Amino acid sequence: MNRRTLRSMMIAGAVAAGCIASGTAADAATAPAASAHSTAGWGQRGGEYDYYLALGDSLAWGYQPDSAGNGVESGHGYADDLAAYLREHGNRELRYVNLSCPGEATGTMLDGGCPDLAGSGQSYTVQEDAAVAFLKAHPHARILVTLDIGANNVDGCLSGGSLNATCVAEGVASAGTQLPEILAELKAAAGHSVSFVGMNYYDPFLAEYLTSGGQTLAEESVALSTTFNGVLGAGYAAFGVPVADVSSAFQTTDFTDTTSLGGTTVPVNVARICEWTWMCAPAPVGPNIHANDVGYAVIARAFEAVLQIRDQR
């Protein structure tokens, strides 16, 4: 039985039941803490988690451009911010493990080939395998797992001031197929005290609104973003995984309300992208799709809201 067949069987079984490697992977599974991403604690049984495991792409990694426009690990990604929040609200002995990789898409997370794997400081071959190994190595631990994945499936679909509809359709379709595969494997490897939270995305291409003739393109990008986030939401819902609503936190669909941006009145969703990401920064820093410190803090608060709601049930 090949791995793809096994994944398909796992997904089918999970849905039918209503389920709401490398040496480095083994090292990550047995390490007492992650080297570059340490600290955290909060929440679940007894007011504590034993581990916080962050998975996903460059947003989880904390990617930001430096003054020359080069991508660096800022130490202020949403996972770093969430870890700090967790630390302030509970057990300071909790371990924070971040296996995210800049450039990761759903396909590379499953099969390897993350474009910036070496730059992320990770030496595993496949992020999914590393995560599964970690979960299997801690069957009785209380673990919070966060996941953001899928944006890189469609990130390259805007070029030359136009959206490539075929590219978008293929990216959305692959995310819709592969996110359930990712979740099926993670859920199968998780112990009974593991909690998962996913996220949807803001729309960085709202910045096109400020370019000549770019208003229509910005509106089209939001429509596609809404469809894409709906696909991600359905994938998470099939496995009972709550979603941090980053799209709403950035007011992504709100073209109606306005605010001032540099002395110009613009829709609030456009202002949020300029204020909370690097999309409107001048070259060589921008345009860059990644959040800045403020934007990452907003994303972290979206996760915190999910954790607080769950803790009150």
Residues 6+ away with beta carbon under 8 Å from 265: 258, 259
The Cα angle at residue 202 between residues 199 and 206, in degrees rounded to 5:
170
Cis previous bond, 204, omega within 30? no
Please give the helix or strand (H or E) that residue 146 lies within, else none.
Answer: strand 143-148
Calculate the CA 32 to chain-centre distance: 24
> Does the pLDDT at position 97 exceed 70?
yes
Residue 194: per-residue pLDDT: 96
> Does the pLDDT at position 38 exceed 80?
no
* Interval 43-67: pLDDT, tens: 344 347 889 999 999 999 999 999 9
Sort strands 288-291 and 277-278 into parallel, antiparallel or unpaired: antiparallel
pTM: 0.84
* Interval 119-164: pLDDT, tens: 777 778 999 999 999 999 999 999 999 999 999 999 888 777 788 8
**CATH for the stretch 3-311:** 3.40.50.1110
Amino acid sitting at position 217: L
Domain boundaries of the chain, sorted by first residue: 3-311
What is the Cα–Cα distance from 55 to 64, expressed in whole angstroms? 17
* Interval 216-249: pLDDT, tens: 999 999 999 999 999 999 999 999 999 999 999 9
Q: Which residues pair with 266 in a beta bridge?
A: 259
